[in-house]
Structure 1
């Protein structure tokens, strides 16, 4: 069985949507202002963003966008830096080459590569 739907409560739907479209190639299919967005990745995952009054995820909560190689991880990291995001350079942690970024809206994103290439 495949996980194919996830809902995130976010403090700013429009900013979170734009972030996911710009840096992770997600496509927004339905947008209702700053209250709701339905997005898809290229593998059919449906991600809904819903406006939350108080968004407080645990420090260990994140969503991830796995990459095929280290070069892709580096490319996304550099793009985020060039667009003003405060991200540390990628490194090795828990068995992969990875980094984390705080996304607009109150959640965290991991960008890992699990292969050695």
Structure 2
């Protein structure tokens, strides 16, 4: 059995949606105004974004986007930096990885 769906409560659905489309290739299947969006990846994973006034995830909570190699991780990291996001360079920890705070109040890990 595979997990195929996750709902995130976010403070800004349009900004979260654009972030996921721009940097991680997700597509919006449907939306309801600024309060809800259904996002899909290439493998059919369904990520729903639901608007909330206050979003407080635990400090270690994050969603991950594994990449095929270090070059892809570096490419995403550089693009985020160029677009003004506060990200540190990737490090070799439990994998080659870095984290970024996404618009809407959640954290993303990019790794290989």
Q: TM-score range by the shorter chain?
A: over 0.9
- Give the structure 2 partner of residue 75 of structure 1: 75
In 1: Cα distance, 2:34 partner to 2:103 partner? 13
- Give the structure 2 partner of residue 9 of structure 1: 9
CA-CA distance at 1:54 after TM superposition: 1.2
Partner of 1:59: helix, strand, or coil?
Answer: coil
- Give the structure 2 partner of residue 106 of structure 1: 105
TM superposition outliers: structure 1 runs of 4+ over 2 Å: none
CA-CA distance at 1:112 after TM superposition: 0.6
Q: Which runs of 5+ in 2 are unaligned?
A: none
Across the two proteins, how many residue pairs are aligned to each other?
A: 112
1:51-96: CA deviation from partner (whole Å, max 9, x where unpaired): 01210001100000000000000000001011110100001112x0
In 1: Cα distance, 2:90 partner to 2:110 partner? 9
The alignment's TM-score, normalised by the length of structure 2, stands at 0.98
Q: Which runs of 5+ in 1 are unaligned?
A: none
The alignment's TM-score, normalised by the length of structure 1, stands at 0.94
CA-CA distance at 1:26 after TM superposition: 0.1
In 2: Cα distance, 1:49 partner to 1:107 partner? 11
In 1: Cα distance, 2:32 partner to 2:20 partner? 16
Could you say what the CA RMSD is over the residues aligned between the two structures, in angstroms?
0.5
